[in-house]
Amino acid sequence: GVDKNLRPLILVGAATVFWSIWLCRNDIVFDRKKVHSCMLLCTDWLRLWALLQQVQHKESMEFGAKRLEWITREFMSRFGWHASSRLLSM
């Protein structure tokens, strides 16, 4: 039930989420880094991948990244977790 024009955009968004989770996992396991929020890293990747999209999809991906960041920060604040005001660096 998804519009044919939105399918590629949804697939890119899903791939971005899985890629970010994989990178966070690697940082934790292999580099023993303390990653505070994989989802904030995901928003960073979404913004980066949005640059590679066609103009009409670019705005949607940027909006999705902003929305995901807002939801993540809201969720974290409700449970007393603190995210830095900057996004995690890659």
Q: How far apart are CA 76 and CA 57, in angstroms?
A: 28
> What's the domain count of the chain?
1
Q: Is residue 87 part of a domain?
A: no
Residue 86 domain-assigned (yes or no)? no
pLDDT, mean over the chain = 78
Q: Which pTM was predicted?
A: 0.61
Residue at 22 is within a domain: yes
Give the separation between CA 50 and CA 66, rounded to whole angstroms.
12
Please report the pLDDT score of residue 83 as a whole number.
55
- CB distance 84 to 41 below 8 Å: no
Give Cα 21 to chain centroid, integer Å. Answer: 9
Taking only the tens place, the pLDDT of each residue in 30-65 is 998 877 677 778 888 888 888 887 777 788 778 878
Rounded CA gap, 20 and 26, in Å?
10
Distance (Å, whole) CA 29 – CA 26: 5
Domain limits at 73? Answer: 7-78
In a domain, 88, yes or no: no
